[in-house]
Chain A
Amino acid sequence: MESNSQIIKFMLVLTSVVALGLTALRQVTEPVARLNEEIFEKRAILLAIEDYLGGKTVDQLTDEEVLQIFDNQVQQLVVDAEGNVIEGLKADDVDFAQERKKPADQRKYPIWVYSNGQDKLYIVAVRGNGLWDEIWGYVALKSDLNTVAGVAFDHKGETPGLGAEIKDNPAFRAQFKGKRILDDQGNFVGIIVRKGGARDPEHEVDAISGATITSNGVTNMLIEGLKAYEPYFAKLRNAG
């Protein structure tokens, strides 16, 4: 039987060695991990404008190309709830998950403006609730600020094969292309994910069977999320 001091000595030595080793490893891997995370986020944004990347899919882009697109072709804006641009802030710096916890009138909204010579696309962030946990996504609008150019969704814990299809299924995402967020009079309607099949070809898409609550979550997220950008978009439409 060992004495207490022996036990304490053993554990102290063991934990110190382990702690030192792990700290060293973390120091080495931290910058790489942070860059990986940044590229991961940027790829998620580019997924919404996959059709406009010059023939390549997001998976085919190398990490350098992703960073280059953001350096050269993307302009980053942050707007407040009244639709005024906040100077000096980049869209990448806004933690949208945190913004959602603030009161609506104090939130900051990120916008990425992508241009490839022919098209100018406005990518906005949306966030809402699915069945189990948060869902979020990016919506790209064409320069009329009405027609959807593409969407990308992600989720924290939706059911694989059901709710998780909003992310995994390219066919679900593809439906959103060409839909309009305004009606003919210019009033905001958003996009509705309709159970049982879309009825209005302008504003509705088919829901995923078996994932009603996630589909409704996407509807609410799109209506609330896009509405929040309307003050800014209205200003741009009136100006142009």
Chain B
Amino acid sequence: MAETKVAQVEKKKEPLFGKKERKLLVDPLNDNNPITVQVLGICSALAVTSLVYPSLVMAISVIFVTAFSSLFTSMLRQYIPKSVRMIAQLVIIASLVTVVELSLKALNYPVYKQLSVYIGLIITNCIVMGRLEAFAMANKPWRSFLDGIGNGLGYGAILLIVGFTRELFGKGTLFAGSPLEWKIVGPSAEYLINTAGTGYMNNNLMVLPAAAMFVIGVIIWIQRSWNKKLIDVS
């Protein structure tokens, strides 16, 4: 009897990276994107996306926070008292955000200055707490970790697309402030006062945060007309 029981348990063991796990990672990139489908985390997506490089740093920070807050919450899920579960989740999120903030201050101070309050505001990003409540509190650590990474990636992907569009059309540069910096160089650089010395006339609509709203709107439009699963939702 005992032997068969062991065999059954072993059979139930799921592969470390099976179909379900892959779905956890890929789903938030498209079918269930936190920004374009769930419309969460819009605030920081508007605020930090005027340049690609800070967007990239923001994306990595959020991936770190969603992944590890999901992991730790899932590990503690049986011990967290129900009545204070949100406070416990917030303690975990806030401490991870502080880890990001302290590390960024030591590793890349100029970008820390650029992102300023928005690093601290990851705490209030609905995506993070939303995943903890909806997934990590009811699933095993490994899957929660993957779900966190997936949602962070889904958020980061949109951030990078918006940042890329806004920086290219707004300022005529890409990755400004990083070693990969690229800019349009034209003969008019000396004459135009409203350029960053690039010969490109700044498009102020793209530079302002409102442009992110338009860009995200266009992304949602394109995604909905191309992804059949989303067409029938309404």
A7 in contact with B84 (CB, 8 Å): yes
Decide yes or no whether B22 CB sits under 8 A from chain A.
no
With a cutoff of 8 Å between Cβ atoms, the chain A residues found around residue B207 in the complex are 160-161
Decide yes or no whether B110 CB sits under 8 A from chain A.
yes
A162 to B79, CA, bound (A): 52
Interface 9-residue window, one of B59-67, B127-135, B156-164, B187-195: B187-195
A168 to B91, CA, bound (A): 38
A160 to B206, CA, bound (A): 10
Interface SS of B by simple majority:
helix
A14 to B81, CA, bound (A): 12
Decide yes or no whether A132 CB sits under 8 A from chain B.
no
A146 to B204, CA, bound (A): 35
With a cutoff of 8 Å between Cβ atoms, the chain B residues found around residue A208 in the complex are 193-194
A175 to B84, CA, bound (A): 59
B204 in contact with A14 (CB, 8 Å): no
Which of A7, A15, A40, A160 lies in contact with B50, CB distance below 8 A? A160
Which of B92, B106, B192, B194 lies in contact with A33, CB distance below 8 A? B106
- For B, the interface residue count at a CB cutoff of 8 angstroms equals 36
Decide yes or no whether B13 CB sits under 8 A from chain A.
no
How far does the Cβ of A218 sit from chain B's closest Cβ, in whole Å? Answer: 14
B204 in contact with A171 (CB, 8 Å): no
Given that A161-B170, A165-B194, A171-B197 are contacting pairs, would A10 and B109 also be in contact in the complex, using a CB cutoff of 8 Å? no
A144 to B145, CA, bound (A): 64
A1 to B84, CA, bound (A): 11
Decide yes or no whether A32 CB sits under 8 A from chain B.
yes
Q: Which of A1, A32, A33, A159 has the most CB of B within 10 A?
A: A33
Decide yes or no whether B87 CB sits under 8 A from chain A.
yes
A22 in contact with B99 (CB, 8 Å): yes
How far does the Cβ of B54 sit from chain A's closest Cβ, in whole Å? Answer: 12
Decide yes or no whether A239 CB sits under 8 A from chain B.
no
Question: Told that A14-B76, A169-B193 touch, could you supply 14 new A-B pairs with CB distance under 8 A?
Answer: A2-B82, A10-B88, A22-B102, A25-B98, A33-B102, A33-B105, A40-B110, A160-B50, A162-B204, A169-B195, A171-B189, A171-B195, A172-B193, A206-B193
A-B contact list, 20 entries, CB within 8 Å? A1-B82, A6-B81, A10-B84, A11-B88, A11-B91, A14-B91, A25-B99, A25-B103, A33-B102, A37-B109, A40-B109, A40-B113, A160-B208, A161-B202, A161-B204, A162-B204, A169-B196, A169-B197, A171-B192, A209-B193
Binding site for B on A (CB under 8 A): 1-2, 6-7, 10-11, 14-15, 18, 21-22, 25-26, 29, 32-33, 36-37, 39-40, 159-162, 165, 168-172, 175, 206, 208-210
Binding site for A on B (CB under 8 A): 50, 76, 79-84, 87-88, 91-92, 95, 98-99, 102-103, 105-106, 109-110, 113, 170, 189-190, 192-197, 202, 204, 207-209
Q: Which 5 A-B pairs have the closest CB atoms?
A: A161-B207, A36-B109, A29-B106, A32-B106, A161-B204
